Amino acid sequence: MDRMLRMILRPLINKLVNKGVDVGIDQIARRRNGGQAAEELPDDQRARVRDTQRNARQMMRTARRFTRF
């Protein structure tokens, strides 16, 4: 029974945590940008911001995987 609960709950918890990390990274990125909306940025800067956000999310997920055990 315990094994079945883990099989069901683990993916749900992982999705919830990933969503929380994504939201947190977005909020931090907005604060560092001075509250300026992404639409107001030039195209090249918007692409760099998007790449930086993606890299930060990947690093946070990797760090979380290493600290689970």
Check residue 34 and give its pLDDT: 58
| Structural domain count, the chain | 2
Same domain, 29 and 45: no
pTM of the predicted structure, to 2 decimals: 0.44
Residue type for position 7 = M
Residue 62 pLDDT greater than 80, yes or no? yes
Same domain, 34 and 48: no
Domain that holds residue 48: 41-68
Same domain, 31 and 45: no
Q: pLDDT tens-digit profile of 1-51? A: 788 888 888 888 888 888 888 888 878 877 765 555 555 777 888 888 888
Q: Are 67 and 28 in contact (CB under 8 A)?
A: no
Distance (Å, whole) CA 37 – CA 39? 5
